[in-house]
Amino acid sequence: MSNREDRLRSLLDKVRAKRPEERTTHAADALERMRTASGTTAAAVAPSSPPLPPAAQPTPVPSAFPTQAAPQSFSEPQTSQRLESPTRYSSQPPRVERPLSVEPRTPSVRPISATPSVPSPAPTTRRPESIRPQSVAPTGQPVVYATDPPEFPRPKTFGDLLELTLSLRPR
């Protein structure tokens, strides 16, 4: 207790030495209030002291900040884990699915080492024949066959209706 009072007093002396014209400073006022109120400076330093006014509470915050922040900023294990993860993945070759667009359409262009000697499993991994590009290839028919307009009956003119009705005779 007395050590803290001594340190505060020495600090007050230093301030007075720098600025001798100021006989009353905020530190001196605080020191005087601590003396007259409780007779000890422990209540002003301890963060859980209830009798201190709210204006004195910012004081312990700087002293507590470095004691809590230092261990987290320098010994965080998660940072090293994140840096190690790309290395760990790069040590193993990634399993990449073969894209459908570059899938060989004929067995001759497939790599021999990747194709098993037994042909039975191959159809299970291949795309269905119905959606292969070969199924929608042009058949060689001339396109003009599909673009010919269909023949619709010509709409009847008034003359057509007249000819029809004037051709009516009793059965």
Partner 1 sequence: MHDGRFDPSGFYEFNLTGGTVRTRAGERVVMLSEGVLSALVEAAARDGDLTPLRRLGELLGEQVLSGLDRPASVLSAEAVLGHTSAVTALFGWGRLAFERWGPALVIALRDKPELDEDELGAAALLGGMFSEISQRQVSCVPTGDSKFIMVDFEVAETVWGWYKDGADLPAIVGMLESKRAS
Binding site for partner 1 (CB under 8 A): 155-159, 161-162, 164-171
The pair of structure tokens assigned to 88 is: 């760990």
Q: Is the alpha carbon torsion for 87, 93, 98, 104 positive or negative?
A: positive
Nearest distance in Å: CB 102, partner 1: 60
Which residues 6+ apart lie within 8 Å of 56 measured at CB? 30, 44
Considering the complex, state which of residue 124 and residue 165 has its C-beta at the smaller distance from partner 1.
165
Gap between the Cα atoms of 34 and 25, Å rounded: 14
Gap between the Cα atoms of 136 and 171, Å rounded: 58
Considering the complex, state which of residue 153 and residue 159 has its C-beta at the smaller distance from partner 1.
159
Considering the complex, state which of residue 77 and residue 153 has its C-beta at the smaller distance from partner 1.
153
Nearest distance in Å: CB 156, partner 1: 7
Nearest distance in Å: CB 134, partner 1: 50
Burial readout 90-112 (b: 16 or more C-beta within 10 A, e: otherwise) = eeeeeeeeeeeeeeeeeeeeeee
Considering the complex, state which of residue 84 and residue 160 has its C-beta at the smaller distance from partner 1.
160
Nearest distance in Å: CB 167, partner 1: 4
Instruction: Report phi then psi at 23, rounded to 5.
Output: -90, -25
Q: Are 115 and 107 in contact (CB under 8 A)?
A: yes
Nearest distance in Å: CB 159, partner 1: 3
Considering the complex, state which of residue 120 and residue 157 has its C-beta at the smaller distance from partner 1.
157
